[in-house]
Structures are given as structure tokens and as C-alpha cells.
A and B are shown apart, each in its own frame.
Chain A
Amino acid sequence: MPTAEKVDLYKDNKKEYAATTKPVLIETGPAVYLSISGKGAPGGSAFTDAVGALYGVAFTIKMTRKFAGKRDYAVCKLEGLWPKLNDGTASVNKDDWEWQLMIRTPKFVTSADLKKAVETLLKRGKGADCQRVELLSLDEGLCVQALHVGPYDEESKTVATMQSLAEKHGLRSSGPHHEIYLSDPRRVAASKLKTILRQPVKKASR
């Protein structure tokens, strides 16, 4: 058995996963994610199936590597990119919402690992949505980040405070709205849900 310590990406990148309700500017580093894109209302069947596929792939990769004696790591929490949510073009109808669901993954996980996991899941008859899972590299750089406590529907207040901070520093949005789901919405009361909201930013040109 390998004696290398188990990798915990959230612990290794503490600043990126700690937030208070007061928005702050943080510098994020490059990160790799398992990701699946889709469209539909959060909590709806397309969304739920995608979450299931993403976790199925994530755990299958992890366990396959573990069985082979490779370095172990914790499967990270669900995150999501919502491209239209902060540029004012999001549809009123949630069924039209597009999202990219992600789970942060160590850089030593390869596309060969992904391919193998999908094949294994297909053999079990659980692969249909899994085939859509991809490896994604993101480098968001400078971001505004804040903790939102409460229902997802009430994020606009938190987003507004983040926008003021950005404007104060002469920054504007440079990438999709990014959410990190710290709480499980199936089990936590809506008013107590904790979600980190992250908005990549860059200098606004005059």
C-alpha cells in the first residue's frame, strides 16, 4: 500500500474553499475538474442524472486507482458553472438554464483513467450519461468570492455585494458564475444552505 498521504484538494487550497458572507478578492490557481454539461432546472431529472453520472465516474476513477495501489484522494464536493447567470441573459424559465457541473480532481488523474472508468460503468449498464463526463482545466485567476447562506433563489443579494466590491476595485466579470455546494440540498433546510459564490474578474478597460 502506498504510504503517500491522501490528497485533499480542499485542504491544499484552503483559501479557495473558505469564505465568509463578506465578499473578498482572491487569487485562484489552475485546477482540473471532472465535468458534465447540460441544460435544465436545478433538481430536475436532467440535472440529477448528471450529478449521478459525475459522482459515479469520480468514485469509479478513485477506486480503480486505489485498487492499483496509486495515491488516494478525497472526492471533492459538487461545483457548478452557470454561464448566463450573471450577465443578465439567463432565461426566466429554469428549464432553459445551462450549467456545467464539476468535481475538482487531482492533476494526476488522466484521460485514460476517465476513459477506463466510463467503460467500466457502461459494462454495468450505468454508463449512458457517464459518457458525457470530461476532464476540464480552469484557471480563473483573480476572483471575487463570498459565502451565500440561504436558498439558491436568493443569491442575487450576495451577488450584488460581490459586484459592488468588483466595481470598487475597477474590475468586471471575466468568466462564468461559479458555485461551490458546501451543503446537500436534499438534506439541509433551504434557509441553512451554504454555497460559495465565485466570480472571476479582470480589470475593466476604460
Chain B
Amino acid sequence: MRTLTLNDYKRRLLRVLVHIQQHLDEPLPLERLAEVACFSPYHFHRVFKGMVGESVKEYVRRLRLERAASRLKLGSASVVDIALEAGYDSHEAFTRSFRNAFGRSPSRFRLVRRRVPPPAPSGVHYDESITMRFRTLNRGGSMKVEIKQLKPMRAAFMRHVGPYDEVGETWDRFLTLMGKDGYLGGNPMMFGICHDDPEVTPRVKIRYDACLSVDEDFAPTGDIGVQTVAGGRYAMTTHAGPYNQLGKTYAEFLGQWMPRNGHELRNAPCFEIYVNDPYSTPPEELLTDIYAPLQD
């Protein structure tokens, strides 16, 4: 079993940053970037954001704007041409984004001497050589994480496609159907499998499975399917508090704790076990155990 060091993570990430730099004009699909980085596509984005401090989208947008700033300064191309090169459909859209990033409209920017580039948590800017500061990696050190060996888990599940904050409706239906047939006896585990990263996939397309652990004798019926969650090595951390804050814990767990602690993520989704019942527990007391699959 080879452990990944922080340097391995950094090296792979640098490959992605260089690739982005070299292909700034092209669409940069996440699967391709994950491939370049040799990371699992399931987890690549959280690792990227955790280490770089910005989402891929935010990073690329900023770099394109910084390049546009450079063009404004060093050439005489029209603002419209520069806007198109930066990937904007219209002069107005470009001007808005540019002003947000640089504090001035593109035309005024051309006239002004001193320029301050937009902030970059990673310290990586367009016109500089790529030396990552990884400042964001200072967090994630205090996370309490356990490494566990799990057996495969058989689960009945209902698939939810749509915003993560609407999964409650699917759970309601699922638990009512399972409950009336006696499947809530014997303390079954309730957990969720997120197939898509809410930060990456459009809200309405997110796939999430509401799962309840079942025995061999449960057969799929109607909307309720059966799947087996793979066993193996997992890293587990507990998120305390409301479900709508889970994203932050995932980001710290996958994006900061993983790189620092020498673990490589397996190409399979994470799942979250709901320890207490959200219908009778105040949001601040909710506990969710997040499991991230590791290479064996």
C-alpha cells in the first residue's frame, strides 16, 4: 500500500494548474482535469478547492480575467475582442466581472498605472510562474478522523435527483414506505450517498441516494431499489450541526485533511450516516458521520 504524501498531492495539482494555464482558451471539463491530476473524478473537485482555495470555475474565471487585464495593459486590442477571448458573450457581462475583480471598468483600467490583481488564496496568478503557497492547507489539521475497515452494506434506497436541500422530501416518502412494512425495526442505519458534488453539478441534476440498511430478504419494489455499498478502508469524520453546513466539512476533509495525511481516495462516492433523527433533533445537535473511501 503506497501512501500519498503531501508533495504527491501538490505535484499532481501543479500538473492541473499548468494544464489550465496552457489551455485557458479551451473548455476545461472536470473529468479531463481529474485525469491530468490522476485523481478520482468523484473527489477531484473537493481536493482542488481544498488545496487551491477556489473552485475550478472560480480559478479559471479569475485567470481569464487576469489575462484580459494583461491584454488591456500591453496591447491595443479592443475591449470587445478581449472580452470574447476571455470567454464572455457580451461587453457588458465582461465589464461587470472585470469590475468585480479589479475594482475598475476595463477601459479605466487601461488608463490607470497601479493595478492590484484580484486576491488568490493559493497565490497563483496568471502572469507569474506557478508557485503555490497552499495557504489554505493550514486548516484541516485539527480534524478528528478515524480510519475504519467496513464490511459491504446492503441497502434499500430511493434515488433523488435535484437540489440537495430537497432530499428531505425523498426521505419522507422513503421512510414512510419502509416504515409501514416494518423495516424501521432493529435500529437500521440511515445514510446518504452523494453521487455528485453540489459545487460542481447543476443543482437540479444532483443525484443522491437515500439509503436504509436491510437484510438479504429485502427485494426491490416500485421506486425502491437495492444496492451494496462496497466494504474496505474508509476515513471517517463527524460533522456536528445543520446539514446545510456539510459542504464545509466535506471540503476540509477531502481538500485539506486528505492531502496532509497521506491517504489516497478510492474512485467511489462518499456516503454520510445520519446518527440522529432530524425530525426530533434541533439542527445544532445533528451529527453526521462522513465516510470517504480510501485505496486499500
Residues of A within 8 A of B (CB): 52-53, 55-57, 59-60, 62-64, 66-67, 74-77, 117, 120-121, 123-127, 130, 184, 187
Cα A75 to Cα B176 with chains together (Å): 13
Binds A, one of B48-56, B177-185, B221-229: B177-185
**Is the CB–CB distance between A55 and B187 below 8 Å?**
yes
Q: Judge if B245 is at the interface, Cβ distance under 8 Å.
A: no
Q: Judge if B72 is at the interface, Cβ distance under 8 Å.
A: no
Cα A52 to Cα B183 with chains together (Å): 13
B248, chain A: closest CB distance, angstroms: 20
A121, chain B: closest CB distance, angstroms: 4
Contact of B182 among A55, A66, A67, A124 (CB under 8 A): A124
Residues from chain B with a CB closer than 8 A to the CB of A125 are 215
Cα A117 to Cα B187 with chains together (Å): 15
Chain B 128-168 residues near chain A, CB threshold 8 A: none
Q: Judge if B18 is at the interface, Cβ distance under 8 Å.
A: no
Given A74-B279, A187-B275, A187-B287; A60-B177 close (CB under 8 Å): no
Range of interface residues on B (Cβ < 8 Å) = 20 to 34
Q: Which residue of B lies closest to A55 (CB)?
A: B187
Cα A63 to Cα B182 with chains together (Å): 9
Which secondary structure dominates chain B's binding surface?
Answer: loop
Cα A94 to Cα B186 with chains together (Å): 25
Q: Judge if B36 is at the interface, Cβ distance under 8 Å.
A: no
Q: Which residue of A lies closest to B183 (CB)?
A: A124
Q: Judge if B277 is at the interface, Cβ distance under 8 Å.
A: yes
Q: Which residue of B lies closest to A186 (CB)?
A: B275
Q: Which residue of A lies closest to B277 (CB)?
A: A75
Q: Judge if B276 is at the interface, Cβ distance under 8 Å.
A: yes
Contact of A63 among B180, B186, B277, B280 (CB under 8 A): B180
Cα A126 to Cα B176 with chains together (Å): 18
B182, chain A: closest CB distance, angstroms: 4
Chain B 169-205 residues near chain A, CB threshold 8 A: 175-187
**Is the CB–CB distance between A77 and B280 below 8 Å?**
yes
**Is the CB–CB distance between B186 and A56 below 8 Å?**
yes
**Is the CB–CB distance between B279 and A64 below 8 Å?**
no
Residues from chain B with a CB closer than 8 A to the CB of A55 are 184, 187
Cα A93 to Cα B182 with chains together (Å): 36
